[in-house]
Structure 1
Amino acid sequence: MSKVTESVQLKNGVTLKNPLMLAPMTTQLSFFNGIITEDEITYYKNRSKDLGALVTGAANVQFIGKGWPGELGVYDDKFIPGLTKLAQAIKGEGAKAILQIFHGGRMSTLTATEGETPVSASAVPAERPDAVTPRALTGEEVLTVIQDFKRAAIRAIKAGFDGIEIHGANTYLIQQFFSPHSNRREDEWGGSLEKRYHFIDVLVDEITEAVAKYAESPFIVGYRFSPEEYETPGIRMADTLYLVDHLAEKPLDYLHVSLNEYDRLSVEKDYQEKTILAYIHQKANGRVPIVGVGGVQTQADVEHVLENAELSAVGRAMVYDPDWAGKVLNKQPVHRLEEIDEQVRNLRGTSLWDFVQQVRLDKE
């Protein structure tokens, strides 16, 4: 039997029917106030078939953490009814429903926060055009952020999700605390590598303790991270392997490596003998399942990923073809990403929903 069709058991005992996951992707389909729309529910429902699990796009745990317009909210109980519909739609198609929770930190925009200055570990702007200089969180506010992540996890439980994914990747707030570029603090939350990890350490413990208290059945908790930063100073592979080593000892059900190509090599010469994913998988050493992602488009790609991971996430291929997973499982032809990218170029500047509608029409 191919690994692609084998079930996967997570650390908490939950079994996924296969190792295929929908990668979390921004849709911008929610209302301006973070309430989910029927279009967004339909989008996820159509992509839940045949998958082991589906991870939603980011849901912000604080209003000040909103990263972009059209983003799903989970920072208030008012979101629970809509989130319940979403969880039911995903689970109704057979996939485990996982809500990704996040805070944009310094990557939030003044437009998204309605003019309120974004916050971060330190008052250091991102190295991108027109980046806003964030306000450094006070010690008391750091604790509030952690509690708001915890409350978001509890809301996901109440809404009927099978799990959550903590978004510690893609330069958002959690990563900002771990990064020596964005974290210049001199208190208990910054300085040495150990102190930069402290925020993650406390955050994961608070969330997993809340899950143990409030979930009536095994509830998935995953963690996503980016292995390298290009800023100087920035996160390097040694930092990431330290992170993986420590997270592997926690009651997390998987670690999700955020990569644009699953076979990418490190930019560091000392870590180019094998892929980044291979180094991370080796460090995890079977203690926690690893999710590989990036450029997955065929069954062969999935099998390559599973050489250094227990789970394989797919993104763009399922934006184009909601039936991709079933085709891969049944060894049917699938569309190449080159075809998808050509349509993306032709539709540049449109929303994801417009793109989905356009390619749907092209297929009819």
Structure 2
Amino acid sequence: MSEDCLFSPLRLGHYQLPNRIVMPPMTRSRAGQPGDVATPLMAEYYAQRASAGLIIAEGTQISPLGKGYAWTPGIYSPEQVAGWKQVTTAVHAKGGLIFAQLWHVGRVTHPDNIGGQQPISASALRAEGVRVFVDNGSQAPGFVETTLPRALSRDEIADVVAEFRRAARNAMEAGFDGIELHGANGYLINQFLDSESNTRDDEYGGSLENRLRFLDEVTQAVCAEIGAERVGVRLAPLTTLNGTVDADPETTYTAAARLLGQHQIAYLHIAEADWDDAPTMRVEFKQALRAAFPNVLIYAGKYDAARARAAISDGWADLIGFGRPFVANPDLPERIRQGAPWAQHDPATLFGGGAKGLTDYPCLD
């Protein structure tokens, strides 16, 4: 290959990316307490990785009720906006580009994480067998099973859409270059979208058109607030994480891609199922998504450099997200460019803690 496609520039909305390598969102559970505020340590972590063509910051709750796990950051209070401003300033100083990932976890939480309230969802269906990390302040933090949520009313759905819109505006005030809506991995948008987690009998449930409505309304709201060219959406068509399953994912997610294309958002981010014996996305499905969505397509899911180059060369991907490799390799693009070995991360330090396992991984000499 005369020119390395991973290092060819790409236009994304208003921005010119220097390479096709994305640092995707990864929960690290190190937000400052109390208040779930991004910290100077987090600013250092993201700035170390600013050579990525695009950084998508970790999932960031849009409201207190949207929080699924202990020590994850928010973006609904002035203190949280100020905390994230430290992060975006540090990344921009290193020449990087960073989007905020906005999430509402819906039923994937526990009352200990949301002030004792009952979780909310598309339907009153518990995420069976799902465990979340809690810190209730009175005992050692740990994992507990989720509880039964209540179904959102129509008025409450409108309130959550407004929370997404305010969070997008807050992200701009915090200096982010754009936002990504987290519609994957079994969280609230996904709970409306997938057939087995949505049993509503109103205009938000039943038919595919109805199940797409919440995604449609949230996307429309954030695009109206900050501009479609600053908006991405992450979807996970084949995942069964956190109990969400769709009876016909290829039909559902091709329709979702077509809908998002009508909004002219900057990118669609596809999270492939990447656990052992996970279902494989058919190439025909990826080609259908390419045909349905006119703008930039990102894929993530256990990619190495060779698979990434092949995906871009084959035409169904424009950018590739490398998740955990970015944890232990802050200079991952340079390692890919040189063909240098990748360091391995320490699984014990992925969630919670301090600098160890976050900012202490070395770059190449």
Quick check: TM above 0.5?
Answer: yes
> Structure 1 CA distance, aligned partners of 2:217 and 2:226?
14
The DSSP-based 3-state class of the residue aligned with 2:19 is coil
State the Cα distance separating 1:179 from its structure 2 match: 1.5
The partner residue of 2:191 within 148, 165, 176 is 176
State the Cα distance separating 1:314 from its structure 2 match: 0.9
Instruction: Give the corresponding residue for 1:199.
Output: 214
Distance change in 2, residues 1:297/1:334 (3 Å)? farther
Deviations 1:92-143 (A, max 9, x none): 2122110100101000222211321111111111122533110111111100
Deviations 1:204-263 (A, max 9, x none): 111101113xxxxx952100011124466546221111111211121200000012449x
1:166 aligns with 2:181: yes
Distance change in 2, residues 1:349/1:148 (3 Å)? closer
Question: Any stretches of 5+ residues in structure 2 without a counterpart?
Answer: 131-144
The DSSP-based 3-state class of the residue aligned with 2:87 is helix
- The answer as to whether partners of 1:189 and 1:198 remain within 8 angstroms in 2 is yes
Normalised by the length of structure 2, the TM-score is 0.86
The DSSP-based 3-state class of the residue aligned with 1:251 is coil
Instruction: Give the corresponding residue for 1:26.
Output: 27
> Structure 2 CA distance, aligned partners of 1:54 and 1:349?
18
> Structure 2 CA distance, aligned partners of 1:309 and 1:219?
18
> Structure 1 CA distance, aligned partners of 2:109 and 2:252?
25
The DSSP-based 3-state class of the residue aligned with 1:205 is helix
Instruction: Give the corresponding residue for 1:302.
Output: 308
Instruction: Give the corresponding residue for 2:166.
Output: 151
> Structure 2 CA distance, aligned partners of 1:225 and 1:350?
23
The partner residue of 1:259 within 272, 275, 279 is 272
The DSSP-based 3-state class of the residue aligned with 2:69 is coil
> Structure 1 CA distance, aligned partners of 2:212 and 2:253?
10
- The answer as to whether partners of 2:179 and 2:231 remain within 8 angstroms in 1 is yes
> Structure 2 CA distance, aligned partners of 1:353 and 1:47?
17
Instruction: Give the corresponding residue for 2:96.
Output: 95
Percent of aligned positions that are identical: 26
> Structure 2 CA distance, aligned partners of 1:220 and 1:362?
31
> Structure 2 CA distance, aligned partners of 1:107 and 1:152?
20
Q: Which portions of structure 1, spanning 4 or more consecutive aligned residues, are displaced by more than 6 angstroms?
A: 361-364
The DSSP-based 3-state class of the residue aligned with 1:83 is helix
1:231-246 pair list within 5 angstroms = 234=247, 236-246=249-259
> Structure 2 CA distance, aligned partners of 1:80 and 1:59?
11
Distance change in 2, residues 1:265/1:35 (3 Å)? closer
1:226 aligns with 2:236: yes
> Structure 2 CA distance, aligned partners of 1:121 and 1:222?
22
1:47 aligns with 2:49: yes
AA at the equivalent of 1:225: L
> Structure 2 CA distance, aligned partners of 1:357 and 1:9?
30
Distance change in 2, residues 1:350/1:78 (3 Å)? closer
AA at the equivalent of 2:36: G
State the Cα distance separating 1:91 from its structure 2 match: 1.5
- The answer as to whether partners of 1:257 and 1:277 remain within 8 angstroms in 2 is no
The DSSP-based 3-state class of the residue aligned with 2:195 is coil
RMSD: 2.6
Instruction: Give the corresponding residue for 2:66.
Output: 65
Instruction: Give the corresponding residue for 1:215.
Output: none
1:327 aligns with 2:335: yes
Instruction: Give the corresponding residue for 2:289.
Output: 280
Distance change in 2, residues 1:157/1:324 (3 Å)? same
> Structure 2 CA distance, aligned partners of 1:117 and 1:45?
37
AA at the equivalent of 1:258: A
Question: How many residue pairs are counted as aligned between the two chains?
Answer: 342
> Structure 1 CA distance, aligned partners of 2:115 and 2:364?
39
Normalised by the length of structure 1, the TM-score is 0.86
- The answer as to whether partners of 1:125 and 1:131 remain within 8 angstroms in 2 is yes
> Structure 2 CA distance, aligned partners of 1:152 and 1:291?
23
State the Cα distance separating 1:57 from its structure 2 match: 0.3
Question: Any stretches of 5+ residues in structure 1 without a counterpart?
Answer: 213-217
The partner residue of 1:313 within 310, 321, 327 is 321
Deviations 1:309-348 (A, max 9, x none): 011111111101101112213x231226xx44xx43xx38
The DSSP-based 3-state class of the residue aligned with 2:148 is coil
